[in-house]
Structure 1
Amino acid sequence: MDSTGADAKETRPAAGARLGEGGRHVGQITAQLREAIRSGIYVNGDRLPAERDLAERFDTARSTIRKVLFNLESEGLIERRVGSGTFVKYDDLSVGAAHDIVSRVSPLELIEARLAVEPHMTRLAVLHATANEIKMLGSILDDLEQCRNDKDAFSRHDSMFHEWLARSSRNPLLLHLYQQINAVRGHDQWDAMKIKILSPEEIDEYNRQHRALFEAVRRRDIAAAVKQINDHLEKARRDLMGAAAV
């Protein structure tokens, strides 16, 4: 993945100076930079500091910063421009419009949309993913498998895993569509279902499916990968229907 560009406007305080140094965890750093954007430390159109500068500021590895930027991009707060850097694209009006759509989509409608999009998205990822993209997918999966007892962390890394598949499809429209799908997962309805569904045992089963899907992508096995994503989403649909009936 490309490094981000130079620091944002010098007249604005550096994020680390305002927000505190040393946040080593992906979730903590994501929260700090998210707040820096929403509070106006960085405004729409600003270029964020380079990956190496953010890594130094937060005393962490560049691989951690890449995951942080991935989270922020998934939330629609930043965009990456090849050869130019990473820029803030936070706009209260556009965020409000997106939230209006998200608030009207139920968890079951989310799964229906995912079943319509993800099998072909996965097929394209098998065909087009680079070795580095597959390596990054494996790194996200490694983190995901450490989330057995943390429903929130599991949900974050699960979103990252599937969105990285979308990115690996090399189809920008599919990526955009999947980012909209992913936005639904931060809605209150999904949080309520998550509490009902995500026991440690269920997380283990979802991660077994994630691992099987990853191995199929790594082997470039289209049929196996498409079967795994369909099985995975069908399980999610059954679990949601069961939770809704309780």
Structure 2
Amino acid sequence: MNVSLDAGRLAGGRLYQRVAEQLAAIISEGEYSPGSRLPAERKLAERFEVSRPTIREAIIALELAGFVEVRGGSGVYICDGESDKLASTNLDVGPFDILEARILFEGEAAELAAKKITEQELAEVREALEDMVTENEGEPICEKADERFHMLIARATKNDAIVSVCSHLWALRNSSPVSARILEKVRQAGSKPRIEEHHAILEALEARDGAGARAAMREHLTRVIQQLLDATEAEAVEEARRAVMHNRERFNLIG
């Protein structure tokens, strides 16, 4: 059974959700029996004609619905699941789509903020960064300071539309069960908000360097994508390296 997900068919739904539904149907039809291993990520991406980050999001959705079990370093194995469970799962915008949008909007927001930010606002951004250092030392890791850091920069643009968009993207990130599961995997892998990357953003803002602030923000969020790719890799270590190199091309397309 070959599956081609063209633009017309995808217009009514989110890409990873459509892939998850197709995979759930295939599993329910018995193509893969309980206890068997799903094909490699690369093979699934080729079969469904989508990127490997989309496959990962779909697999996380299936994991939440009880269709599959992800075993780190081994693969993805079929469990006993039913399609109505997937239909009732509150699937939302996937984390890779959210991060692509954040690269676009928060990068431009940082550039504009560098031109308009006040000394008082800079002090608040510094304080958020200091709080982020403290939060990174705690267990479990809280990311309130991380969100505050980014939203302070959005507000420094003095543009309510930009603030609204950035706030909405953070709300999507925080409410999506698929995003929450992937972030949980990131934390389990020991990854934390990267202080040095946030510090580079702050330094560019302090220098009123718009281009530098934009570049630093985009570099930071691109590295977050890298973290997600690493943490959600369900295949062997060598396959993980190949997957990262393959998928990096997708996120370098944004000029």
Give the TM interval when normalised to the shorter protein.
Answer: 0.5 to 0.7
**Alpha carbons 2:132, 2:195 under 8 Å: kept:** yes
1:189 aligned residue: 178
Inter-partner Cα distance in structure 2 for 1:218 and 1:110: 27
- CA contact under 8 A between 2:191 and 2:227: conserved in structure 1? no
Output the TM-score relative to the length of structure 2. 0.52
Corresponding residue of 1:177: 165
The answer as to 2:198 corresponding to 1:210 is: yes
Which position in structure 2 is the counterpart of 1:230? 218
In the aligned structure 2, how far is the partner of 1:220 from the partner of 1:210?
15
Provide the C-alpha distance between the structure 2 equivalents of 1:105 and 1:226, rounded to a whole number of angstroms. 24
Count of residue pairs the alignment pairs up: 144
| Distance (whole Å) between structure 2 residues aligned to residue 164 and residue 152 of structure 1 | 24
What residue number does 1:134 align with?
A: 122
Paired with 1:172 and 1:149, the residues of 2 have a C-alpha distance of 34
Q: Counterparts in 2 of 1:76-115, with a 5 A limit?
A: 103-115=91-103
Task: Give the Å deviation of 1:245.
Answer: 2.6
Higher relative contact order (CA 8 A, sep 6+): 2
Aligned match for 1:148, one of 120, 131, 136: 136
- Rg: which structure is higher? 2
1:149–1:200 Cα contact (<8 Å) kept: no
Q: 2-side partners of 1:151 and 1:180: how far apart?
A: 27
- The alignment partner of 1:225 has SS state of helix
Match of 1:241 in 2: 229
Distance in structure 2 (CA, Å) of the matches to 1:155 and 1:240: 16
Q: Secondary structure at the match of 2:165?
A: helix
How much has 1:201 moved relative to structure 2?
6.0
Aligned to 1:98: none
User: Contact conserved, 2:92 with 2:178, CA < 8 A, in 1?
Assistant: no
Q: Is the 8 A contact 2:154 2:162 kept in 1?
A: yes
Structural RMSD (CA): 2.1
Q: Write the distance in 2 (CA, Å) between the matches of 1:210 and 1:171.
A: 22
Q: Residues of 2 paired with 1:215 and 1:193: CA distance?
A: 30
TM-score by length of 1: 0.54
Q: Post-superposition shift, 1:223?
A: 2.4
Q: Report the Cα offset of residue 217 of structure 1.
A: 0.6
Q: Aligned-pair distance for 1:235?
A: 0.5
| Unpaired runs of at least 5, structure 2 | 1-89, 235-255
State the secondary structure of the residue aligned to 2:174. coil
User: Which amino acid is the alignment partner of residue 190 of structure 1?
Assistant: S
Percent identical pairs in the alignment equals 23
State the one-letter code of the partner of 2:221. Answer: L
